[in-house]
Amino acid sequence: MRGNSLHYVDFRPYTPGDDPRQVDWNAYGRSSELFVRLYEDEQTLTVHLLIDVSRSMDFGSPNKRHKSLQLAGALSYVALRGYDRLQLGFLADRTVGIAGPFWGQHQQAAVFAALASAPTAAQTDFAASVANYVDRLKQPGLLIFLTDLLSPTAEAGLRRLATAKHEATVIQILAPQELNPEPAEDVQLIDRETGQSVEVNLDLGTLAAYRQRLAEWTEGLARLCRERGARYLRIDSADDLERDVIRALRAQGVVA
């Protein structure tokens, strides 16, 4: 929704049915093309890109953190091109950073700069970070989470979304090494967030049990999102951004 406040923020090409009073005639004189002015309004939809910046995201080849920031950059381009207001939130055990709001394609460089300087935090508390962010919002918006959901409170955080009147999309990003680990003997697994370690033997039986548990876990997360009215998409950090990820988001109606 676009308002009639005096704060001009951007313009878009004129389409039949637009209010002729909002045509930018100065732009028409320069380009011979019709453009419509856009004005800021408190009721305009805000897209919140919420990025998990905990230590567990800084893992994998390709790296999950890098993939999430690349995807955030692509989604921010779509949002700003669609004339939505955009805000970035960096989450871990709480909200550790906010950038924006941004509005208009001319602010894309500022968004990229904010993503390039994204903070890094130690541990994840998905439920606490969700509550910390959404509780400060005064208007309903579109929440897009980019996270691996490797948090003991992941399910509680997804349930928390049901109490907030926002449209939510959860994009779970896992690395190939997490989705399909290779067999190995006497492996020491170290939790990147707590430093705790455990010795395991990744034989074929152990890996089969792991894949079964992984499938049950992610299917449970997807079901929980559906029950709460949220979209869920699991991606591999090795997925091609345009061919695989954006296409899947279009199929779910997240992007046009």
The mean-pLDDT minimum among 12-26, 93-107, 210-224 falls in 12-26
Q: What is the pLDDT of residue 2?
A: 38
Asked whether the bond before 101 is cis by omega within 30 degrees of 0, the reply is yes
Q: pTM of this prediction?
A: 0.80
Angle in degrees, CA 47, 166, 17, rounded to 5: 60
Q: Please say if the pLDDT value at position 11 is more than 80.
A: no
Q: What is the pLDDT of residue 176?
A: 95
Q: Please say if the pLDDT value at position 39 is more than 60.
A: no
- CB count within 10 Å of CB 250 equals 12
Assign domain 46-251 to its CATH architecture: 3-Layer(aba) Sandwich (3.40)
| % of the chain beyond a pLDDT of 70 | 79
Does 44 or 153 have the greater pLDDT score? 153
Q: Please say if the pLDDT value at position 165 is more than 90.
A: no
Coil vs helix vs strand at 131: helix
Scan for tokens 């890109």, then name that residue: 49
* Mean pLDDT of the 186-198 span: 65
How do the domains of the chain map onto residue ranges? 8-39, 46-251
Q: How far is CA 27 from CA 8, 9, 12, 49, 253, in A?
A: 14, 14, 11, 32, 33
Q: What is the pLDDT of residue 192?
A: 59
Does 95 or 219 have the greater pLDDT score? 219
Give the torsion sign (CA, 242, 173, 105, 83): positive
The mean-pLDDT minimum among 41-45, 171-175, 206-210 falls in 41-45
- What rounded mean pLDDT belongs to the chain? 83
Q: What is the pLDDT of residue 215?
A: 95
Q: What is the pLDDT of residue 30?
A: 74
The mean-pLDDT minimum among 153-162, 172-181, 197-206 falls in 197-206
* Mean pLDDT of the 232-248 span: 91
DSSP character string of 83-119:
T-EEEEEEESSSEEEEEEEE-SGGGHHHHHHHHHT--
Coil vs helix vs strand at 81: helix
pLDDT tens, residue by residue, 120-139: 988 888 999 989 999 888 88
Contacts (Cβ under 8 Å, ≥6 apart) of 103: 9, 10, 40, 80, 83, 84, 85, 86
